[in-house]
Every structure is written in C-alpha cells, then in structure tokens.
Amino acid sequence: MTKPHLLLVEDEPAIRTPLKRFLEREGFRITDVGDAKAARDALDKGAFALAILDIMLPGEDGLSLARAIRAGGELPILFLSARAEDIDRIVGLEMGADDYLTKPFNPRELLARIKAILRRAEPNGPVEGDDHVYRFGPFKLDSSAQTLSRDGDAIALTGGDYRLLLCMVERAGRTLSRDQLLDLTKGRQADPFDRAIDNAVMRLRKKLGEDGPELIKTVHGLGYSFAGKVETA
C-alpha cells in the first residue's frame, strides 16, 4: 500500500523534526521544509496528499502560501498556528483550509485530523455517498463529477464548499446543528468558539448568489437547513 505523502512546512526545527519522525512512524511519507520558498519548490517537484502549513513563517507566511496552493488546485490544507485568536482561524478557514490546529497540540490530535481529511479526500469518502445528480431550482449538483452549475454555467467550488453543499442537499428539509455539519464535513467536533461552519455557510451562500439565503436557512439556536426542493437523478 502506498504511503500518503504529506508536505510539512514548519520553520522551527524543534517542532518540525520530532513531528516528522512521529508521522513517519504512523505510516506517512513526509517532506519537511522550513519556509514557503522551499515549500513551493517541493510542490513543483512532488505530488502530495496534504499540506500542513505553519502560518507564521519567515518571509512569505503560511496564508499567502495557502492562497497560492488554492489557486493551483484542491490539495487539502491543515494550518498550524501559535496564535489562538478567532480572526486567524476564521481567515484560514475562509481561504478554504480543511482544518486549523493551535499550538501547542497533542500529536495524536493532529494525527486524527490528518486521517479525517484524507478520508474525506478519497473518491469513496464518507461524505460523498452514491453518485447522483441533484437538481434544485436552476442548479445542478453532480456528485460524480463533484461540480455545481446554474442554468448550465459552472460555479467554482472549493472542496469544502462542495462537501458542505452535498451534505445539506442530501439532507434537505432537516435542521442540522453546527456540530453535525462539522462532524459530517470535517470529521471533528466543534469547540465552543468554532465558527468554521458559520463562515463556510456564508461563503457557500455567496457562491449560490441571490438564491443563497433562501436555499440555506438559518434556524436560530439550532443550526442550518437546506430549504430547496431537491430532485435526484
């Protein structure tokens, strides 16, 4: 079985070296670098299953590097940061990162989050379900091609956008709590200040345009509900 190849971008050797050894013992192949330039070189030369990015890097920071990664494709991203402020987490998740972990962290928690991201990235991951075409209003969501279109025009979605929309469309009419949505789409539970789902919903509504607020309803005190009439092919 091929070992998943992870890119670890961390400028502190005291963190990077033992973390690399730990993840290698857990069955991963690790390329570790200390700055964004070296990370870009590694990305040009190799194929990776996941990028683990420290936000505070010398020179170009992790957010800028993630922006470049997102512009070039859908490589999953997990942020590491010594800063616990909500704004840093929100910015990272709004950029399309798959997860965010604050230092100091337990390596076992990092391992669990890595495995959850990789499971979701698999073609037959737990969120995707059977292949269907879902139609609601002028929209068509194709779970085989993982694409969304409106009246035939493609709408660009990140991997996180797609997973959230599919999760809600498959459960149309049901109220889903933030904890449920986070567990279904990101494979983890929310902490008391976690706004990942709120920001993901806001981003997805914008992608859906003027229909967004009518399709994705806020159920105050409970969570969100997909209100569109869904037909399945």
CATH number at residue 172: 1.10.10.10
If one counts the domains in the chain, the total is 2
Give the pLDDT score at 18: 96
Please indicate, yes or no, if residue 128 is contained in any of the structural domains: no
The reply to whether 210 and 105 lie within a common domain is: no
Q: Residue 88's pLDDT is what?
A: 59
pTM: 0.56
Question: Burial, 50: exposed, middle or buried (Cβ in 10 Å; 0-12, 13-18, 19+)?
Answer: buried
Quick: pLDDT tens for 101-130: 888 889 999 999 898 888 776 644 444 445
- Residue 231's Cβ-count burial label (10 Å; 0-12, 13-18, 19+) is exposed
The DSSP result for 89-102, as a single string, is HHHHHHTT-SEEEE
Cα 214 to Cα 119: distance, rounded to the nearest angstrom: 31
**What digits encode the pLDDT tens for the residues 155-165?**
988 888 888 99
Residue 160 and residue 139 share a domain? yes
Q: Residue 72 contacts by C-beta under 8 Å, 6 or more apart in sequence?
A: none
* Residue 123 per-residue DSSP state: T
Q: Do 112 and 26 share a domain, yes or no?
A: yes
Report the pLDDT value the prediction gives residue 206, as an integer from 0 to 100: 94
**Residue 159 belongs to what domain range?**
133-232
Beta carbons of 182 and 189 less than 8 angstroms apart: yes
Among 78, 95, 121, residue at a domain's last position:
121
Strand residues in 68-146 grouped as ranges (E): 77-81, 99-102, 133-136, 139-142
150, HSE (Cβ side, Cα atoms, 13 Å): 10
Whether the CB-CB separation of 175 and 161 falls below 8 Å is answered with no
Helix 86-94 / helix 62-72 crossing angle, nearest 10 deg:
20
Residues 117 and 188 in one domain: no
pLDDT under 70: residue ranges of the chain: 1-2, 83-96, 121-131, 183, 186-194
Are 115 and 26 within one domain?
A: yes
pLDDT at 193: 44
In a domain, 127, yes or no: no
Whether residue 180 sits in one domain with residue 80: no
Classify residue 217 by burial, with Cβ atoms within 10 Å: 0-12, 13-18, 19+.
middle
CA distance 176 to 211: 20
CATH code of residue 41 = 3.40.50.2300
For residues 113 and 13, state if they share a domain.
yes
Which pLDDT score, from 0 to 100, does residue 107 have? 93
How many whole angstroms separate alpha carbon 226 and alpha carbon 203? 15
Domain's final residue, options 89, 121, 153: 121
Which residue, chain included where needed, has tokens 């292949």? Answer: 131
Q: What is the pLDDT of residue 9?
A: 97
In a shared domain, residues 16 and 116: yes
Spatial contact of 49 and 1, defined as CB atoms under 8 Å apart: no
Task: Name the phi and psi angles at 21, rounded to 5.
Answer: -65, -40
pLDDT computed for residue 75 by the predictor: 86
pLDDT at 205: 95
What is the reported pLDDT for 94? 65
